[in-house]
């Protein structure tokens, strides 16, 4: 049971925090005795004893006054060296002269995040000379306006805007029957009583419920600031007190009033649901801390309770949250109320959080009991930021190696950071689907880029984004502390990991375009580093992948093995339970088709036909495939050690099987030696196709083990056998017109000339170049295959003169036949006509069946072409044969879609 002495102290502490300290009636023994129903003599004894204990500040006199020392120090940011004063005025003056401790709203939850703009407006309004600017604080019920009012008073005292010891006054506009009564209270009556502004010329006044004030009263109130609407009231010429307003309303409702347009500072408080999760959790802690002080007991709250309450939607905002905290503490006291022990709050105590039906599978992470008295927003995510510090220091001190893999130390720190985030994923998500949606968008970005998705990459990156979003205050402090080290690390990563940076820029754009999420700079750096860690070395003899049935079986084994091996050795595929061996192979083929590199493949599976899986993969991927059955973490570790030591695939399989306790079966499917090639085709024959191949080779960022084979377009289109292509794996065909090779994708030259990079997706070199290198190739193709470059490389004639002649001929042809060519068709005509002129000069006319019949049936078109090409005929001494005219006719009709 609480002692009478403690009750006396709590009463004085509360009054010192909330009341005007110059109101002497509240701080003398008689008032305390009346409130607590004890004798005045006993109350005086308790007060003097508390003063002797150093807990109270005493003002000598008749009667003596007592104040809570702790409350005064916190309220006015002072440190008492003496706790005895001769008068209240001496106390006020001492507070005013010693209030040197700067206060900057640091105890206000959300001061640097969700309330930053509100506080900036308050500061601007309070600082403006001579009496500040009119400020209206707008917010819904339970948005925390009262806390902001108290913090504003502390800040004004700290900045010497108002005098220390002269506390703020709160006037309720709704409590006056007539608006004029509020004006009398503030300004007084003419030639009679002084108003409060004159009596307290260096204080802070808040008028709450100001939505009840009419327009005429607003006009008089605003005249206090000398804003020109009216002459300032004569009753308060010397006052420098700040006069602020507050209302319970919405911004739209406020702005519908004419008087709102006269208020330069309208600060809108976000509702509870609009505050960040970080803020809401801190507010929940604050509510429990308030209850702890009230009942005089240490309170420990389950992290699950804090997360759940922070995620609830309260119609009355903080009022509802504080009520839940009160009920939870009451239930906990009734449950286990032993005095002297900490009060522990669990889900069963908080209203609406536990219905007894929660399934084991849906239980959150292991709960932690949070001491609400020691809760610190900055230290809340300290473990995660400590792990990030290790990563940043590794990069800054050691740079990024030229090899495709990160150092073991950096990878270990990355893995530890991602493991920390995964442990706290449910806390980070807090019932939101943003994390899962972000993961899907991230994976989709890799799909569109034609890249393989590293194991758990979407989850890891989305977790990192949520971590920074839910720890904004701690993140700001960490970034400030890391300073130059963090900036240098970002610079090193951006400059050295160009390929990975390009991939991450696509991911960042997709996150913004699809979800409106901004990928923070720190998560961008972490994601880029992780991509480098996942890059498979092109020279490695074999690479590994784990495929297992279950929601996250393969991912869990791969994550654990990679972390223990301190290198990204295994990727993973999680598969449904009801999937056949053929479907397993199909799943693996779909995933592995996006892997860069042509190394042998070691596949660890939990079940399935080894030979069937290996054979299907070997035939599709054109690599040797080894399959091990009965995958487990120890097996993955054994295989990973062999892969890291660069052992041949057969040795990896044999050593792993021998080290496994149970009998493990494995199979090897060897791939027949098949050379990959790219076909270059031109209707102008093999020499022209060879020039295309040369220009393509020039665009490659580095040499690749792929044959570039020029072929005659007509031969391919007619289905003739091309000996050079026998037994070759054709990756894609490249040229002006599609020869329609069965099962082979075609990349059109005109699309590249059109600078449409998105249409060059058919360039299938993912097994030979990284995603970044493919992006560089596409950029080089657009540059090297510009029309000017084509004319220089694809013809033996002088390019500038030829360009002028071709351009004039094509323009004239459009006019003569009454057609308008599309941009793409115009490019195609330039290229074709350039070839045409060279063929005429070299007398290498194409063969085109039925040209004589065509000339007889289309005399107008023949005449139009001859007329249009007159300048070419004169300049180069050639004539347009019927075969070439016939070919031009068919080429134009491909674009027009109908006969000319």
> Which numeric CATH code is attached to 795-896?
1.10.1790.10
When pLDDT is cut at 50, 70 and 90, the band that residue 228 belongs to is very low
pLDDT of residue 110: 82
pLDDT of residue 618: 65
Sign of the torsion angle spanned by Cα atoms 53, 54, 59, 60 = positive
pLDDT digits (tens, 9 = 90+) for 669-694: 666 667 788 999 887 778 778 778 87
Out of 218-227, 282-291, 444-453, pick the least confident: 444-453
Q: Taking residues 796-814, report their average pLDDT.
A: 77
Domain 4-98 has CATH 1.10.10.10: yes
Name the CATH topology of 542-669. Answer: Rossmann fold (3.40.50)
Question: Cα dihedral angle (648, 654, 656, 661), rounded to 10 degrees?
Answer: 180
Out of 362-371, 599-608, 729-738, pick the least confident: 362-371
Domain 116-270 has CATH 3.10.20.30: no
pLDDT of residue 362: 44
Domain chopping of the chain, boundaries: 4-98, 116-270, 274-373, 382-534, 542-669, 675-790, 795-896
When pLDDT is cut at 50, 70 and 90, the band that residue 317 belongs to is confident
Out of 299-308, 396-405, 516-525, 827-836, pick the least confident: 396-405
pLDDT digits (tens, 9 = 90+) for 610-653: 556 666 666 666 677 888 888 888 888 888 888 887 788 888 88
Question: 542-669 and 795-896: same fold?
Answer: no
Return d(Cα 464, Cα 391) in angstroms, integer.
14
pLDDT digits (tens, 9 = 90+) for 183-197: 888 888 876 667 888
When pLDDT is cut at 50, 70 and 90, the band that residue 47 belongs to is very high
Q: Taking residues 521-548, report their average pLDDT.
A: 75
Residue 712 tokens read as 């005659």
Return d(Cα 542, Cα 834) in angstroms, integer.
48
Residue 362 tokens read as 């849906």
Return d(Cα 322, Cα 17) in angstroms, integer.
19
Out of 268-282, 428-442, 606-620, 801-815, pick the least confident: 606-620
Q: How many CA atoms does the CB half-sphere of 713 hold within 13 Å?
A: 18
CA distance readout (Å), 384 to 239, 456, 459, 468: 52, 18, 16, 10
What pTM did the predictor assign? 0.47
pLDDT digits (tens, 9 = 90+) for 163-212: 765 667 899 999 998 888 898 888 888 766 678 888 888 889 999 999 88
The three-class DSSP label of residue 141 is: coil
pLDDT of residue 593: 55
When pLDDT is cut at 50, 70 and 90, the band that residue 439 belongs to is confident
pLDDT of residue 66: 94
DSSP code string of 79-101: --S--EES-HHHHHHHHHHH--S
What does the angle CA 851 – CA 854 – CA 858 come to, to the nearest 5 degrees?
A: 145
pLDDT of residue 539: 44
Provide the percentage of residues in the chain whose pLDDT is more than 70.
79
DSSP code string of 197-228: HHHSTTSEEEEESGGG--HHHHHHHHGGGT-S
Q: Is 765:704 a contact under the CB 8 Å cutoff?
A: yes
- Burial (CB count <10 Å: 0-12, 13-18, 19+), residue 340: exposed
pLDDT of residue 756: 46
- At residue 122, does pLDDT exceed 90? yes
CA distance readout (Å), 353 to 345, 349, 368, 376, 423: 12, 8, 17, 24, 22
pLDDT of residue 360: 40
Taking the mean position of all CA atoms in its chain, how far away is CA 371? 30
What does the angle CA 630 – CA 633 – CA 636 come to, to the nearest 5 degrees?
A: 75
pLDDT of residue 334: 85
Provide the percentage of residues in the chain whose pLDDT is more than 90.
9
Residue 443 tokens read as 């994976």
Architecture category of domain 675-790 in CATH: 3-Layer(aba) Sandwich (3.40)
């Amino acid at each position: 049971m609480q002692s009478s002495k403690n009750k006396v102290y709590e009463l004085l502490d509360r009054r010192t925090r909330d009341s005007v300290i110059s109101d002497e009636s509240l701080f003398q023994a008689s008032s305390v005795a009346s409130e607590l129903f004890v004798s005045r003599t006993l109350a005086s004894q308790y007060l003097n004893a508390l003063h002797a204990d150093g807990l109270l500040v005493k003002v000598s006199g008749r009667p003596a006054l007592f104040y809570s020392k702790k409350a005064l120090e916190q309220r006015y940011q002072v440190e008492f060296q003496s706790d005895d004063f001769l008068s209240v005025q001496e106390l006020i003056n001492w507070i005013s002269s010693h209030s040197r401790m700067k206060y900057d709203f640091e105890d206000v939850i959300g001061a640097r995040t969700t309330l930053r703009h509100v506080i900036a407006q308050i500061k601007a309004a309070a600082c403006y000379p001579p009496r500040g600017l009119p400020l209206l604080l707008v917010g819904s019920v339970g948005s925390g306006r009262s806390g902001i009012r108290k913090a504003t008073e502390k800040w004004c005292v700290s900045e010497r805007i108002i005098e220390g010891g002269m506390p703020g006054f709160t006037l309720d506009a709704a409590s006056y029957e007539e608006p004029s009564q509020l004006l009398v209270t503030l300004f007084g009556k003419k030639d009679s009583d002084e108003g409060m502004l004159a009596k307290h010329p260096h204080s802070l006044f808040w008028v709450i419920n100001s939505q009840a004030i009419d327009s005429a009263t607003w006009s008089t109130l605003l005249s206090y600031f000398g804003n020109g609407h009216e002459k300032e009231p004569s009753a308060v010429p010397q006052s420098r007190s700040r006069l602020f307003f507050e209302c319970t309303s919405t911004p739209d409702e406020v702005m519908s009033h004419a008087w709102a347009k006269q208020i330069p500072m309208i600060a809108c408080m976000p509702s509870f649901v609009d505050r960040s999760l970080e803020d809401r959790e801190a507010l929940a802690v604050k509510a429990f801390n308030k209850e702890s002080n009230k009942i005089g007991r240490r309170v420990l709250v389950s992290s699950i309770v804090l997360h759940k309450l922070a995620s609830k939607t309260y119609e009355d905002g903080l009022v509802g949250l504080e009520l839940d905290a009160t009920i939870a503490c009451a239930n906990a006291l009734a449950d286990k109320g032993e005095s002297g022990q900490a009060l522990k709050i669990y889900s069963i105590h908080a209203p609406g959080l536990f219905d007894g039906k929660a399934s084991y599978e849906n239980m959150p992470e292991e709960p932690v009991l949070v001491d609400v008295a020691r809760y610190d927003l900055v230290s809340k995510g300290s473990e995660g930021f400590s792990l990030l510090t290790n990563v940043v220091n590794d990069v800054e001190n050691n740079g990024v190696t030229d090899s495709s893999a990160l150092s073991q130390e950096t990878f270990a720190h990355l893995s530890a950071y991602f493991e920390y985030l995964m442990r706290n994923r449910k806390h980070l998500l807090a019932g939101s689907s943003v994390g899962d949606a972000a993961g899907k968008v991230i994976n989709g970005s890799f799909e569109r880029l034609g890249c393989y998705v590293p194991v758990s990459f979407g989850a890891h990156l989305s977790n990192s984004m949520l971590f920074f979003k839910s720890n904004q205050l701690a993140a700001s402090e960490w970034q400030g502390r890391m300073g130059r080290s963090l900036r240098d690390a970002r610079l090193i990563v951006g400059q050295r990991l160009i390929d990975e940076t390009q991939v991450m820029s696509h991911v960042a754009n997709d996150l913004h375009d699809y979800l409106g999420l901004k990928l923070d700079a720190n998560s961008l750096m972490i994601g880029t580093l992780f991509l480098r860690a996942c890059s498979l070395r092109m020279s490695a003899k074999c690479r590994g992948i784990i495929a297992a049935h279950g929601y996250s079986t393969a991912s869990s084994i791969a994550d654990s093995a990679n972390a223990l091996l301190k290198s990204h050795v295994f990727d993973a595929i999680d598969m449904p339970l009801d999937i056949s061996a053929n479907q397993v192979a199909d799943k693996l083929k779909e995933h592995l088709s996006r892997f860069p590199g042509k190394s042998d493949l070691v596949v660890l599976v939990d079940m399935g036909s080894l030979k069937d899986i290996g054979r299907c993969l070997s035939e599709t991927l054109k690599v040797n495939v080894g399959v091990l059955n009965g995958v487990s973490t120890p097996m993955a570790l054994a295989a990973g050690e062999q892969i890291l030591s660069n052992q041949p695939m057969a040795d990896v399989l044999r050593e792993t099987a021998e080290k496994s306790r149970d009998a493990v079966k494995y199979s090897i499917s060897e791939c027949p030696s098949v050379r990959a090639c790219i076909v270059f085709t031109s209707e102008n024959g093999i020499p022209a196709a060879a020039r295309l191949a040369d220009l393509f080779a020039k665009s490659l960022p580095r040499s690749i083990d792929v044959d570039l084979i020029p072929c005659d377009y007509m031969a391919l289109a007619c289905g003739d056998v091309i000996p050079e292509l026998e037994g070759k794996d054709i990756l894609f065909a490249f040229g002006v017109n599609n020869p329609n090779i069965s099962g082979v994708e075609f990349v059109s030259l005109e699309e590249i000339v059109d600078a449409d990079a998105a249409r060059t997706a058919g360039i299938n070199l993912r097994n030979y170049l990284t995603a970044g290198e493919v992006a560089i190739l596409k950029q080089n193709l657009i540059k090297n295959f510009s029309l000017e470059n084509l004319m220089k490389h694809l013809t033996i004639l002088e390019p500038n003169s030829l360009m002028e002649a071709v351009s004039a001929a094509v323009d004239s042809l459009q006019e003569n036949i009454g057609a308008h060519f599309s941009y793409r068709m115009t490019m195609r005509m330039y290229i074709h006509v350039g070839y045409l002129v060279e063929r005429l000069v070299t007398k290498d006319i194409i063969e085109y069946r039925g040209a004589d019949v065509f000339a007889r049936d289309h005399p107008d078109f023949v005449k139009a072409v001859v007329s249009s090409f007159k300048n070419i005929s004169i300049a180069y001494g050639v004539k347009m044969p019927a075969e070439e005219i016939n070919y031009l006719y068919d080429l134009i009709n491909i674009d027009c879609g109908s006969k000319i």
